Amino acid sequence: MKNVVSLNDEYIEISLSNKYIENYTSRNILGYIKGTQYTDSFIVFSAHYDHLGRMGKDIYFPGANDNASGCAMLLNLAKHYSQHPPEYSIVFMAFGAEEVGLLGSKHYVENPLFPLKQIKFLVNMDIMGTGEEGIKVVNATEHKKEFDALVKINEEKKLLPGIQPRGKAKNSDHYFFEEAGVKTFFIYTLGGIKAYHDIYDKPETLPLTEFEDILKLLTDFSEYLQK
């Protein structure tokens, strides 16, 4: 077979062209439960509902841990507060287009439905499906008082194996809120399966090891924020 390019050549020239094709419009989904006392002050829980989708005809990325697990936590929190009315209004935000650059949350911060200054705290949940080694909290170093309270709740209730602090990071939907002056945490689980952004991130292999304890931790932390 004749070589198209000689192995001795040091340079080749190629010509490429590309075109952006708009396949769909992404949307953010919001719901809220009105507070019994402080209707205009909000605690926000958020999670992104998009994932990588397909690559060609045969390859599919399920996205169970990233981030169906976070959406499941969001729905469980909504169920909890529908049964236990909070003093502060609770908002549940499900963002689209996180995987293509946090575009859903960026759009919301630029076009909020209520003033961002009315958000008392935002907790973003991404990768909630394991927890054998506890959780990590982004922005823990930025909001030490709230982080210390979270750790204290965990130790008193003996919920998770540990809570690890982390500094600022532009790695999920909390980021643009934090940059806009809203206090935020981004929480994700540690340990367990390593499937991430691949075809093995399936619901049938997701252990949900600490899911119930994380739910308890978040509701107790929300109670702390409402004091």
Give alpha helix (H) positions in the chain.
69-83, 103-110, 144-157, 175-179, 211-225
The yes-or-no verdict on residue 197 having pLDDT over 60 is yes
Task: Band the pLDDT of 7: cuts 50, 70, 90.
Answer: low
More confident residue, 60 or 185: 185
Q: Tell me which CATH homologous superfamily contains domain 29-225.
A: Zn peptidases (3.40.630.10)
Per-residue model confidence (pLDDT) at position 8: 61
Question: Which secondary structure element, helix H or strand E, spans residue 122, and what is its range?
Answer: strand 119-125
- Cβ neighbours of residue 71 closer than 8 Å, sequence gap 6 or more: 47, 49, 94
Per-residue pLDDT at 123: 99
Give every strand in the sheet of 163-166, ordered side by side.
29-33, 88-95, 38-48, 119-125, 184-189, 135-138, 163-166
Q: Which residues contact 221 (CB under 8 A, 6 or more apart)?
A: 123, 149, 150, 153
The overall longest dimension of the chain from CA atoms, in Å, is 79
Confidence category of residue 143, pLDDT binned at 50, 70, 90:
very high
Helix (H) or strand (E) holding 18: none
Residue-range domain boundaries for the chain: 29-225
User: What's the confidence (pLDDT) of residue 97?
Assistant: 85
